[in-house]
Structure 1
Amino acid sequence: MRQYLLKSLLQIIPVLFLISIIVFVLVYCTGDPVSLMLSDTATDEDRRILIAALGLDQPLYIQYFTFIGHLFQGDFGNSFRYDMPALPIVMERLPATFELAIAAMLVATVISVPLGILSATKRNSFLDVLFSGSSVLGKAMPHFWLGIMLILLFAVELKALPVSGRGTLAHLILPAFTLGTGIAAEMTRLIRSSMLEILNQDYIRTARSKGLLESIVVYKHALRNSMIPVVTIMALQTSTLIGGTLITETIFSWPGMGQLIIQAVNTRDMAIVQAAVFVVAILVIFSNLLADILYRVLDPRIKYN
Structure 2
Amino acid sequence: MKKFIIKRLLELIPVLFIITFVVFVLVYHAGDPVSLMLPEDASQEDREYMRESLGLNDPFIVQYANFVMDITRGNFGTSTRYDMDALPLVIERLPATFELAGAAMLVALAISIPLGIWSANRRNSYVDLFITGGSVLGKAMPNFWLGIMLILLLAVNYQAFPVSGRGTFMHLVLPAITLGTSVAAEMTRLVRSSMLDTLGQDYIRTASSKGVPYVKVVVYHAFRNTLIPVITITTLQLSILVSGAIITESVFQWPGLGMLLVQAVNARDMAVVQASVFIIAILVILINLITDLIYFIIDPRIKHS
Pick the TM interval, shorter chain.
over 0.9
Return closer, same or farther for 1:296/1:216 CA change in 2, 3 Å cut-off: farther
Residue 175 of structure 1: aligned partner:
175
Residue 302 of structure 1: aligned partner:
302
Q: Is the 8 A contact 1:136 1:185 kept in 2?
A: yes
Structure 1, 76-85 or 49-58: larger mean CA deviation: 49-58
Distance 2:196 2:237 in 1: 23
Q: Is the 8 A contact 1:90 1:272 kept in 2?
A: yes
Structure 1: which amino acid aligns with 2:150?
Answer: L
Gaps of 5+ in 2: none
Shift of 1:130: 1.7
Residue 88 of structure 1: aligned partner:
88
Structure 1, 247-256 or 132-141: larger mean CA deviation: 132-141
Q: Deviations over 1:39-95 (max 9, x none)?
A: 210111111111112111222222122111111111000011111110000000010
Residue 147 of structure 1: aligned partner:
147
Residue 26 of structure 1: aligned partner:
26
Distance 2:22 2:14 in 1: 13
Q: Is the 8 A contact 1:208 1:217 kept in 2?
A: yes
Shift of 1:166: 0.2
Shift of 1:102: 0.4
Residue 100 of structure 1: aligned partner:
100
Residue 230 of structure 2: aligned partner:
230
Q: Is the 8 A contact 2:235 2:288 kept in 1?
A: yes
Q: Structure 2 matches for 1:210-289, cutoff 5 A?
A: 210-289=210-289
Structure 2: which amino acid aligns with 1:113?
Answer: I
Q: Is the 8 A contact 2:34 2:47 kept in 1?
A: yes
Q: Is the 8 A contact 2:86 2:272 kept in 1?
A: yes
What TM-score results when the alignment is normalised by the length of structure 2? 0.95
Return closer, same or farther for 1:127/1:7 CA change in 2, 3 Å cut-off: same
Structure 1, 213-222 or 99-108: larger mean CA deviation: 213-222
Q: Does 1:4 align with 2:1?
A: no
Aligned residues: 305
Distance 2:187 2:304 in 1: 26
Distance 2:199 2:161 in 1: 41
Structure 1, 38-47 or 226-235: larger mean CA deviation: 226-235
Gaps of 5+ in 1: none
RMSD, aligned α-carbons: 1.5
Shift of 1:24: 1.4
Return closer, same or farther for 1:66/1:146 CA change in 2, 3 Å cut-off: same
Distance 2:263 2:209 in 1: 61
What TM-score results when the alignment is normalised by the length of structure 1? 0.95
Indicate the percent of aligned positions where both proteins have the same amino acid.
Answer: 62
Distance 1:191 1:95 in 2: 29
Give the SS at the match of 1:79: coil
Q: Does 1:185 align with 2:223?
A: no
